Amino acid sequence: MSKRENDTNKLKDLIPQMLQENKLKKGMDQIHVKEAWVEVMGQGVANYTESVILKNHTVFVKLSSAALREELQYGQDKIVKMMDTALAHVSVRSIKLM
């Protein structure tokens, strides 16, 4: 029988390393942005959301309702702050509503 190495690592230390080595961080950030959008805006807005994409610290949100898009334009600064708070590891500087 072979002996096990006693070199133990914590899972929470290994996961970020694995994500970086396999170049999966951007994909995970996209998932976190979509989840944060639903959390911050609620299910009512999420029902009218077609896509949420993070690119260069900007969140692009495609909405199916023009009226909702216009209303959200007024609170854009507040939405940026809430999204930035919800995404602790990703910096959000602006939101583009389409």
Which CATH number does the domain housing residue 59 bear?
3.30.300
Segments forming the whole domain that contains residue 73: 29-97
Is the residue at 64 inside a domain?
Answer: yes
| Residue 58 in domain | yes
Domain count, the chain: 1
What is 60-83 written as a DSSP string?
EEEES-HHHHHHHHHTHHHHHHHH
| Selection from 30, 76, 28, 85 nearest residue 52 by Cα | 30
The answer to the question of residue 52 being in a domain is yes
Is this prediction's pTM over 0.85?
A: no
The pLDDT tens digits along the chain (98 residues) read 455 565 677 877 777 777 677 767 788 888 999 999 999 999 999 999 999 999 999 999 999 999 999 999 999 999 999 999 998 888 899 999 99
Is 61 part of any domain?
Answer: yes
Contact 84, 92 (CB under 8 A): yes
Per this entry, what is the length of the chain? 98
State how far the Cα of 3 lies from the Cα of 48, in Å rounded to an integer. 57
- The whole-angstrom separation of Cα 52 and Cα 86 is 15
